[in-house]
Structure 1
Amino acid sequence: MVNKNDAKRGFTPLNRPKRLPAEITSQISHKIKEGIFPPGSKLPSETQLAKDFGVSRNVVREAVASLRQEGWVITRQGVGAYVAEDFEFKTFKIDSNELDTVEGLRSVMELRIEMEVGGAAMAARRRTTEQIEKLGKIMEQMRNIKDNLTEFTSLEEKFHQIIAEATHNSHFSEFMQFLAQRIRPCLEIKNVAAPQDKNSLRKSIRDYEKIYEAIRIGDPDKSRRAAWYAILRTAENLGLRGLQGWEESRMTLIGDLYIPTCAQADLNFKHPKLKVPVGACDTHAHIFGPKSKYPYSPHRSYTPPDAPLTQYKEMLSYLGIERAVIVQPSVYGTDNRATLDAIRDGGDNFRGVVVVDENIDEKEMERMHECGVRGVRINLLYKSGIEVSDVRKMAHKIAPFGWHLQMLVDVSEFSDLDTLAKLPVEVVFDHMGHMPTSIGTKHVGFNKLLRMLAEGKAWAKVSGAYRITTSNKYPYEDTIPYAKAIINSNPDRILWASDWPHPYINVPMPSDADILDLLSIWEPDEKIRNKILVDNPQKLYEFDPV
């Protein structure tokens, strides 16, 4: 009869295409972590392991050597290998095989962003003249490079190595070198395999120039931001949008003079394939400019081109949409004049969502309500949005008006979603919860969102697919499971929105007709689409019945 403990100690035959010593190391270390081989216990002999795994003793010796190097085991000559008493303090390791998965690469890049941002700030304080000269020479080489991406990757590695040395922290320098060696193969493969935009190399060089200049002048804050920006762009090039809940358009720090400009919406309007019902509503759009009349906040995250109401109404006419909700964008802060004027000029078929602070008085709210305001936007992603820590206080303030809270938040980064379900007002989530698709539909935050929808404790807008996708191509196929899951959770609580004029996105500017046609991909049932387009916004925004 087979002993149960002996059965647990058994190993799985190896898959020959994989590197055999690495697979043996993985299986044994897993059993050590599980306690099957406790600290101080002896591993099976080389002969037995070779028999169990179906390999030669030389392969087993290489695996045991790797286990010893990583701190899992100790070996005694002529006796065998024993599990280390302190194996939990084993040598830090990043398995290069893990970088073949999105999850593994994301984990390494999240570690990298924390290390390199801090390292750039330290380097700005501690760099020597010699190190500045070395960085300058690398920058000169980068500027002269043409299309040799392998050479560019090598220069990137040297650049980061000098910054790590400039921290004058030996542990930091050694760890960054370790990290660079692990991630370099992945970056080389990506650079060679991915189709390159003509401007992509130039953009990367500009990113490095900003880091170099900030370190050269000795400004740790600018160095930190420049490094942060560059790593986010690298992550996005690797298909990791929304790293740590951050993305390029959320990088601007208060007091920083760099404010990126975003592209103009596609003004070559066309008719969609989808025929929309009477009373259809676009529940999320922005109006920008003219700047001379409506100045932007100096602390904004981006600068948009003018996007006047006349252009927006023309776009709606092509789509066949009659109703709209104008949402206050972050670039205006709490100055709602452009949004309120657009609502007034739009007439009875327009509503609005504003950004206010907790000191707004009741009379001003009454005037806004009369104008067509039906909600307040809580912006936890971008600068110049509301930054109240006590969301509950704001909810109680707007509750008498029947307004809702519209949340611009990454549900994968916001741990207090459950508290939102207890507020005395309706809660609406922008852009499908703004969680990057690379995180996966099983994430606890996304599932909390689905549960709130299913229980009728929240609304969600199926919009902004290009803000969460890892693809640059329409129809952003990786967003389809997210949109379907949201719609299926409770079709009575779902809204559609164009997000016009699509401010500061990281994909080619889409056609608004194509954006509307996404809805037929996400939801083939016409009755449910009519709910999303007509019935649901009619209820939430208090439009007259169709």
Structure 2
Amino acid sequence: MSEMNVQPVTRRPHLAEHIARSLSDEIASGRLRPGDRLPTEQFLSQNFGVSRNVVREGIATLRAQGLIQSRQGVGVFVSATSQASEPLAPQASAPMLDGDNTIRNMFEVRAVLESQAAALTASHMTPAKLKVIQAAVLRMQYEGEPTLETVNADLDFHRAVAAASGNDYLETMIRTVLEPMRALITMNFARRGPVFSNIPHAARGEHEELVQAFIDRNATAARQIMGEHIVNAASRFGYEITFF
């Protein structure tokens, strides 16, 4: 897993300033465009290795500069007046799911369905099923920058887990939820810069944890890891959801 380009600092004010400067650079370069949602506090906290209070200080600095704006109960977004360049790829501006609530609801549905599928898959694991799942994880490896194949491998992993559950109805429901999220995943994987470059690697690392639970045939662990994976995925897209 690649490391974030974060310089170690010892004083809290410097750390908050560093976060603000890093996000400001993302906006100035166009990697964060007007209207884009910022990752959640949890995601930024984990990637910068700081507390959420420090992240809030950095966000407050950007808000004071007019670079971002908060929407009550929705999230933090890049201001419409912020400078931005053209999108990195056509897929990054493709029509996606309609509305914030829809996207959040889709992640919540995925957490419920896919955690159960993971538990069933661990219980019903066979060498043949494991081979298909592992192949999808290996395909997420890349050199340089992620490609559409990285996105396909990510989706194929989740489809393979669903198929290995042995429940045709559950598999069908998961496939139905996954496909509309393709454009959203493509957009996030296409983002560059120190704040976003770790996203595909983080997803792959969580997939590897699931594979180990499947190898161990540990249904309890598989359910928990998959639920947390979907929560983390939602956080990387800027949505806070809860998995019970």
Is the shorter-chain TM-score for this pair beyond 0.5, marking a shared fold? Answer: yes
Q: Which residue of structure 2 aligns with residue 8 of structure 1?
A: none
* Structure 1 counterpart of 2:202, one-letter code: K
Deviations 1:184-229 (A, max 9, x none): 1222123224655343332222111001111122100111111112
Q: Which residue of structure 2 aligns with residue 182 of structure 1?
A: 180
Find the aligned partners of 1:194 and 1:106 in 2 and give their Cα distance.
23
Whichever structure has more strand as a proportion of its residues is 1
Q: Which residue of structure 1 aligns with residue 208 of structure 2?
A: 209
Judge conservation of contact 2:104–2:239 (CA < 8 Å) in 1: yes
1:491-530 paired onto structure 2 within 5 Å: none
Deviations 1:280-309 (A, max 9, x none): xxxxxxxxxxxxxxxxxxxxxxxxxxxxxx
* Structure 2 counterpart of 1:234, one-letter code: A
Find the aligned partners of 2:151 and 2:118 in 1 and give their Cα distance.
19
Q: Which residue of structure 2 aligns with residue 199 of structure 1?
A: 198
* Structure 1 counterpart of 2:186, one-letter code: E
Q: TM-score, normalised by structure 1?
A: 0.26
Find the aligned partners of 1:232 and 1:150 in 2 and give their Cα distance.
23
1:220 aligns with 2:219: yes
Stretch of structure 1 that moved more, 139-148 or 123-132? 139-148
Find the aligned partners of 1:203 and 1:114 in 2 and give their Cα distance.
21
Find the aligned partners of 2:150 and 2:162 in 1 and give their Cα distance.
18
Q: Which residue of structure 2 aligns with residue 153 of structure 1?
A: 151
Judge conservation of contact 2:136–2:153 (CA < 8 Å) in 1: yes
Deviations 1:246-297 (A, max 9, x none): 5xxxx9xxxxxxxxxxxxxxxxxxxxxxxxxxxxxxxxxxxxxxxxxxxxxx
Deviations 1:72-98 (A, max 9, x none): xxxxxxxxxxxxxxxxxxxxxxxx978
Q: Which residue of structure 2 aligns with residue 235 of structure 1?
A: 234
Q: Which residue of structure 1 aligns with residue 135 of structure 2?
A: 137
Find the aligned partners of 2:111 and 2:144 in 1 and give their Cα distance.
27
Find the aligned partners of 2:188 and 2:218 in 1 and give their Cα distance.
32
Give runs of ≥4 in structure 1 deviating > 4 Å: 193-196
Judge conservation of contact 1:117–1:227 (CA < 8 Å) in 2: yes
Judge conservation of contact 2:118–2:223 (CA < 8 Å) in 1: yes
Bigger Cα Rg: 1
Find the aligned partners of 1:236 and 1:207 in 2 and give their Cα distance.
14
Q: TM-score, normalised by structure 2?
A: 0.56
How far 1:172 sits from its partner (Å)? 0.9
Please, which runs of 5 or more residues in structure 2 have no aligned partner? 1-93
Judge conservation of contact 1:98–1:105 (CA < 8 Å) in 2: no
How far 1:144 sits from its partner (Å)? 4.4
How far 1:136 sits from its partner (Å)? 1.8
Corresponding residue to 2:105 among 90, 107, 120: 107
Corresponding residue to 2:115 among 117, 132, 136: 117
* Structure 2 counterpart of 1:136, one-letter code: Q
Find the aligned partners of 1:134 and 1:235 in 2 and give their Cα distance.
25
Judge conservation of contact 1:145–1:152 (CA < 8 Å) in 2: no
* Structure 1 counterpart of 2:156, one-letter code: K
Structure scoring higher RCO (CA < 8 A, sep ≥ 6) equals 2
1:259-270 paired onto structure 2 within 5 Å: none
* Structure 2 counterpart of 1:210, one-letter code: E
* Structure 1 counterpart of 2:126, one-letter code: T
How far 1:240 sits from its partner (Å)? 0.1
Taking a change above 3 Å as real, the CA distance of residues 157 and 145 of structure 1, as seen in their structure-2 partners, is farther
* Structure 2 counterpart of 1:213, one-letter code: Q
* Structure 2 counterpart of 1:197, one-letter code: F
1:67-82 paired onto structure 2 within 5 Å: none
Corresponding residue to 2:126 among 111, 125, 128: 128
Q: Which residue of structure 1 aligns with residue 88 of structure 2?
A: none
**RMSD, aligned CA:** 2.3
Deviations 1:308-335 (A, max 9, x none): xxxxxxxxxxxxxxxxxxxxxxxxxxxx
How far 1:131 sits from its partner (Å)? 1.0
Taking a change above 3 Å as real, the CA distance of residues 223 and 209 of structure 1, as seen in their structure-2 partners, is same
Taking a change above 3 Å as real, the CA distance of residues 232 and 198 of structure 1, as seen in their structure-2 partners, is same
Find the aligned partners of 1:203 and 1:170 in 2 and give their Cα distance.
29
Find the aligned partners of 2:110 and 2:167 in 1 and give their Cα distance.
16
Judge conservation of contact 1:98–1:104 (CA < 8 Å) in 2: no
Helix, strand or coil at the partner of 2:141: helix
Find the aligned partners of 1:182 and 1:198 in 2 and give their Cα distance.
23
Number of aligned positions between the proteins: 150
Helix, strand or coil at the partner of 2:239: coil
* Structure 2 counterpart of 1:236, one-letter code: S
Taking a change above 3 Å as real, the CA distance of residues 145 and 189 of structure 1, as seen in their structure-2 partners, is same
Helix, strand or coil at the partner of 2:238: coil
Judge conservation of contact 1:215–1:223 (CA < 8 Å) in 2: yes
Deviations 1:6-30 (A, max 9, x none): xxxxxxxxxxxxxxxxxxxxxxxxx
Find the aligned partners of 1:135 and 1:201 in 2 and give their Cα distance.
17
